Amino acid sequence: MRLSYYGYCLLHVPTDKRHLVDLRALTKKFVNSTNQQFKASITYHGERLYLLPFGASTYLFVQTKTNEIIKAIERKTLSVQDIRNKLMQNESVGFASYVYMDDSYLGIASRVLSPRITAFAELMTKVIVGYGGTDYAFVPTVLAETLPVSAIKTLEHVGSVTVEMNVANSLAQDMIKQLTTRQPDNLVDIASIEITIKPVRKGKKNLRSDLSQIAKNVPTKGLVSLEARAKATAADHMTDIFIVGEGSIRDFIDFKKESDLQTLIPSRAVNNSALQLKVREYKSNVSHKKVADISTLGIDRNTPAITVAVASETVAAGNGNRRGRASKKTG
C-alpha cells in the first residue's frame, strides 16, 4: 500500500492568507460528533465521504454512494472493520483509504481506486466551515524532494526505475513511432509515454548502476520525470525517489492484517527522515502564519452546522496555489 505525505494549512479565502494549524483535535471532534445530518451532507462528485476512527490519529476514509454502506455507517450497525471488509470484498459498493493526521501534515495510504487527497481536502474544508471557519479552505501541499543525479551512487538499493517522457522527447517519439507507426508531427493527442524497468527477482537485483546510466543517457528535453523505488541506507524502507520531476514523498507498507496499519502508518511517518525534514521546512515557511488556537479563526462551534458554498471553485491539491471556496451557514 502506498503512503503519500502532504503539508496542510488553512487558506483565508478573502485575503489569500495562509494559516499553519494543527487539526488533530478538530478532526477527532468531528469523527466523534453525533451530528449525522451534518456528516451526511459531505459529498464529492455525488458520493458520500466519511471519516471513521481507526487508531489514535489514523482514520478510515470512505467514499461511497451505496445505501447499504451509508446506513451501516450512520446507524453504526457494523464495526469499522466490518465496513472495511465489505469495501475490500466488493469495490462496487465504495472505496477506502487510511488517513494519518499530524501537526500541519498528513499521510494518506491508498490503493489504486481509493479516495485521494483532493476528496479529503473537500471533506476537511466542509468540516472547517461547519465548525465556524466560513471563510477558510483546507489546502494540502505535496511534500516533495529531488535527488541530484550525482547522489544516485549513494543509494543503498534500487528496485525499479520509471521514466516518463512527453512527445517533445526524441526517445519517446522513436518509441511511439515504432509501436504505433505515428510520425512525430502526428502526436497531438498523446501526452506522454511511461516506462518502468523492474528486476527479475523483486528485492534481489540492484538497479543502481542502470539508474545512473538512464539518468545520463535519456534526452532531457521532454523528460517529465525519472524516479526510482529505492532506499538510501540498508535500514530504510523502500520509497519513491525522484531524480527528475517532483512527487510526494512516499512510503510503501507491507502488512499481514489491515489492523496493523493503526501503528504502521504513524510509525513510518515519524521515522521517515526525509519527510520530517520537509515537514520542518514546510512549517518554517514565512508565508504561513502559525496559529496555535484555531478558535481565534472563528472555528469554535461545539457542533458543526450544514453550509452551502458561496464560491464555486474547489480546493486544489498539489502545490496549494489555487484558492478554496468560502461558505455560509444555512438557516
Residue 298 belongs to some domain of the structure: yes
pLDDT at 246: 66
pLDDT in tens, 269-322: 999 888 999 999 999 998 999 999 999 999 999 999 886 544 333 434 444 444
- Both 229 and 318 in a single domain? no
Where is the domain boundary, 218, 245, 272?
A: 245
- Give the mean model confidence (pLDDT) for residues 122-130: 96
Q: How many domains does the chain have?
A: 2
pLDDT in tens, 39-70: 999 999 888 999 999 988 999 999 887 777 77
- Both 12 and 114 in a single domain? yes
Burial of 259 (0-12, 13-18, 19+ CB in 10 A): middle
- Both 325 and 213 in a single domain? no
Where is the domain boundary, 226, 245, 264?
A: 245
- Which strand (E) or helix (H) includes residue 125? helix 117-130
Q: Among the listed ranges 90-94, 171-175, 282-286, 326-330, which one has the minimum average pLDDT value?
A: 326-330
Residue 226 belongs to some domain of the structure: yes
β partners of residue 328: 308
pLDDT at 135: 94
pLDDT in tens, 206-257: 999 999 999 999 999 999 899 998 887 776 777 788 888 766 788 888 888 8
pLDDT in tens, 63-121: 887 777 777 777 776 677 777 777 666 655 457 889 999 999 999 998 777 788 999 99
Specify the residue for cell string 458543526: 304
Residue 136 belongs to some domain of the structure: yes
Residue 268 belongs to some domain of the structure: no
- Both 118 and 191 in a single domain? no
pLDDT in tens, 182-203: 999 999 899 999 999 999 876 6
Task: Judge contact between 47 and 66, C-beta under 8 A.
Answer: no
The three cell numbers of residue 105 are 501534515
pLDDT in tens, 310-323: 433 343 444 444 44
Residue 191 belongs to some domain of the structure: yes
Q: Return the percent helix, strand and coil in the chain, to nearest 5.
A: 35, 30, 35
Q: Give the 3-state secondary structure of residue 233.
A: coil
- Both 183 and 103 in a single domain? no
- Both 167 and 290 in a single domain? no
Residue 224 belongs to some domain of the structure: yes
- Both 138 and 153 in a single domain? no
Residue 160 belongs to some domain of the structure: yes
Range of the domain at 234: 149-245
Its pTM stands at 0.72
- Both 64 and 135 in a single domain? yes
- Both 26 and 78 in a single domain? yes
- Encode burial over 59-84: b for 16+ CB neighbours within 10 A, e otherwise: bbbbbbebeebbebbeeeebebeebb
Nearest to 16 by CA among 320, 266, 299, 258: 320
The three cell numbers of residue 312 are 464555486
Residue 272 belongs to some domain of the structure: no
- Both 16 and 78 in a single domain? yes
- Both 136 and 167 in a single domain? no
